A and B are shown apart, each in its own frame.
Chain A
Amino acid sequence: MTKILEPKKQNSIFRRPSSETGIWSWITTVDHKKIGIMYGYAAFFFLLIGGLEALVLRIQLSQPDNNFLSAAEYNAMFTMHGTTMIFLAIMPISAAFFNYLLPLQIGARDVAFPRLNALSFWIFIFGGIFLYSTFIFGTAGAPEGGYLDEEVSWLGSAPNGGWFGYQPNAGLKYSPGTAMDFWALGLQILGIASLISAFNFITTIINMRTKGMRFMRMPVFTWMTFAVSFLLAFSLPIIAIALFYVTFDRNFGTSFFLVEGGGDPVLWQHLFWLFGHPEVYILILPAFGIVSEVLPTFSRKPLFGYAAIVFAGFGIAFIGFGVWAHHMFASSISTVAQAGFGLSTMVIAVPTGVKIFNWLGTIWGGKLKLNTPMLFSLGFIGMFVIGGLSGVTHSIVPADTQQTDTYYIVAHFHYVLFGGAMFGIFSGLYYWFPKVWGKMYNETLGKIHFWLMLIGFNLTFGPMHWLGLQGQVRRTWVYAKETNLQFWNVIVTIGAFIIALSIVVFMINWIFSKRNGEKAPFDPWDARTIEWSIPSPTPVWNFSTAPNVKSLDDFWHSKYDEDEEGRAVRKPTADQLLIDLEEDGLNPKEEIILPNPSYFPIVLASGLPLLGYAVIFKSIALAVVGVILILSGSFGWGTEPLEEGH
Chain B
Amino acid sequence: MLMKIFFKFKNLKYLFLVFISACIDNAPLDSLSPEGPYARSIDELFWLTFWIAVIIFVLVQGALLVSVLLFRDKPNKPEPKQVHGNTKLEIIWTVIPVLILAFIAVPTVRTIFDLAREPEDALKIEVIGHQWWFEYKYPDYGITTANVLVIPSDRPVRLEMWSNDVLHNYWVPKLNGKRYLVPGQKTYLNLHADNPDEFWAQCGEYCGLSHSKMRGRVISLSENDFNLWINNEQQNALKLEDGSLAAEGQSVFLNAGCTQCHVINGVWDTQGDRIAPNLTHFAARTVFAGAALENNKENLTNWLANPAKIKPGTFMPNLELTEAEINALIAYLGTLK
Contact = CB atoms under 8 A, between A and B. Distances in A.
Interface of A: 70-72, 75, 142-143, 145-149, 161-162, 166, 168-169, 174-175, 259, 264-266, 299-302, 304-308, 330-332, 335, 338-339, 342-343, 346-347, 349-350, 353-354, 356-358, 360-361, 363-370, 378, 381-382, 385-386, 389-390, 392-393, 396-406, 466, 469-480, 482-485, 487-488, 562, 565-569
Nearest to A485: B27
Contacts of A350: 94, 97-98, 101
B1 interface: no
Contact of B183 (A259, A307, A480): A259
A169 B167 contact: yes
A330 B176 CA distance: 12
B5 interface: no
B71 interface: yes
B184 A402 contact: no
A301 B83 contact: yes
A620 to B, nearest CB: 33
B161 to A, nearest CB: 10
B183 A265 contact: yes
Interface in B54-107: 56-57, 60-61, 63-64, 67-68, 71-73, 77-86, 89-90, 93-94, 97-98, 101, 104-105
B163 to A, nearest CB: 9
Nearest to B180: A331
Nearest to A328: B180
Given A389-B53, A471-B28, A354 B93 contact: yes
B67 A360 contact: yes
Nearest to A556: B82
B212 A398 contact: no
30 contacts: A72-B312, A142-B308, A147-B318, A264-B185, A301-B80, A302-B82, A302-B84, A304-B86, A308-B90, A330-B177, A330-B204, A332-B180, A357-B89, A368-B71, A370-B72, A393-B50, A398-B45, A399-B45, A399-B49, A399-B177, A401-B42, A402-B42, A402-B178, A403-B31, A473-B204, A474-B206, A475-B206, A484-B27, A568-B80, A568-B82
A82 to B, nearest CB: 11
Interface of B: 20-21, 23-32, 39, 41-42, 45-46, 49-50, 53, 56-57, 60-61, 63-64, 67-68, 71-73, 77-86, 89-90, 93-94, 97-98, 101, 104-105, 108-109, 111-113, 115-116, 131, 165-167, 169, 171, 173, 176-180, 182-187, 200, 202-213, 215, 306-309, 312-318
A470 B80 contact: no
B49 A398 contact: no
B315 A146 contact: yes
B112 A338 contact: yes
B27 A365 contact: no
Contacts of A343: 105, 109
Contacts of A472: 29
B47 to A, nearest CB: 9
B89 A71 contact: no
- List the 8 shortest-distance A-B pairs measured between CB atoms, nearest first: A471-B29, A401-B177, A476-B212, A259-B184, A405-B204, A169-B166, A305-B85, A147-B308
A466 B21 CA distance: 9
Max chain A C-beta neighbours (<10 A), residue from B204, B209, B307: B209
A470 B82 contact: no
Given A146-B209, A162-B206, A396-B108, A381 B60 contact: yes
A381 B59 CA distance: 12
A299 B80 contact: yes
Nearest to B179: A330
A347 B68 contact: no
A370 B74 CA distance: 11
